[in-house]
Amino acid sequence: MNSSTTNIAPAHLAEVRVSFRTAGFAALAMFAILAALPLLTLVTGDAFVLVVATRIMIFALAALSLDLILGFGALVSFGHAAFVGIGAYAVAILNAYGVNDLLVQSLVAVAVAALFALVTGAISLRTRGVYFIMITLAFGQMLYFLMISLSAFGGDDGYTLPARSTVLGLPLLENNLVMFYTVLAVLVGAFLLARMLIASRFGRVLRGTRDNAVRMQAIGFSPSPYQLTAYVIAGSIAALAGVLLANQVEFVSPAYMSWQRSGELIVMVVLGGMGTLAGPIAGAAAFILLEEWLSSFSQHWKLGFGLILLLVVLFSKGGVGGLVKRLLGGAHHG
């Protein structure tokens, strides 16, 4: 057994390195396209392109955070949007009390989301499979109904922000171009952080737990602390997405943390390719662009979207991200 293990391990590690390198090329290509998009806006004069691209990146950030626990930890959470809602309401509540600085709001959002993830994750990780799905759904819905009950912040109708957050006292985010590049910088930073984590010893244990938790326990690793740490990190990153979402639309609603929104984030991860990091970014772009395109034809656009998702799942292994990786991988090897 020992000899076979030593023979297989290097091959497996080499495969992982190739996968990470290809995913890195895919992410680099997507970031380059995103960074160049404002030039298209200048040429066409259509500012809506910048608005849609910013929205795509915000949801890509949330989907990327979910991929940390879904794609690499095999933890299917139907309450992940709760962390997005925590970030959004951190902006609204602090704004109502005169705290408008983006950095302060982000720190508070991350702290609250990390605490919520630590408490709920410690409880949720005592379960497995469908029970984990149901308990994360329950925690997410509890927070959703709590926000509905906050009449001071609009309840079910939501809360309109008087203005976007300031940066060091300056209203920089009022400029859509600055907002765009701020979101892009956060997305790139989150991607690099996630990539570093997954490539580290922590990430190897997390992936090993995903593949075979019993074997990981047998060689001396307890899965729960690693899964809980990943859950807290994922929740914190999702809270940053909530902070940015609230600032982009200048509006906060309990709908941000509904189970339907959590389902959409799962669809983005699956559509782009689970366990790739680059995949959720592609998945978020595909989801929002398809939503914009299909909704222009009919209010029943979700039927068409469901058919497209079915085709992707059946005929494109690894989703959109997997397709991009194969294309770039083929070009790289060629």
CA pair distance 92, 111, nearest whole angstrom: 16
Each residue's pLDDT tens digit in the chain (334 positions)?
444 333 434 444 455 555 566 667 778 888 888 888 888 877 777 778 899 999 999 999 999 999 999 989 889 999 999 999 999 999 999 999 989 999 999 999 999 999 999 999 999 999 888 999 999 999 999 999 999 998 888 888 889 999 999 998 889 999 999 999 999 999 999 999 999 999 999 988 888 888 877 788 788 788 889 999 999 999 999 999 999 999 999 999 999 999 999 999 999 998 888 888 888 998 999 899 988 888 877 777 778 778 887 877 777 666 765 565 555 555 444 4
What pLDDT sits at residue 47?
79
Q: What is the pLDDT of residues 247-282, one digit of tens each?
A: 999 999 999 999 999 999 999 998 888 888 888 998
Residues 6+ apart with CB under 8 A from 140: 78, 79, 80, 81, 82, 257, 258, 259, 262
Residues 6+ apart with CB under 8 A from 18: 329
CA pair distance 225, 284, nearest whole angstrom: 29
What type of residue is 7?
N
Q: What is the pLDDT of residues 98-148, one digit of tens each?
A: 899 999 999 999 999 999 999 999 999 998 889 999 999 999 999 999 999
Q: Is 83 helix (H, G, I), strand (E, B) or coil?
A: helix
Single pTM value for the model:
0.87
Residues 6+ apart with CB under 8 A from 97: none
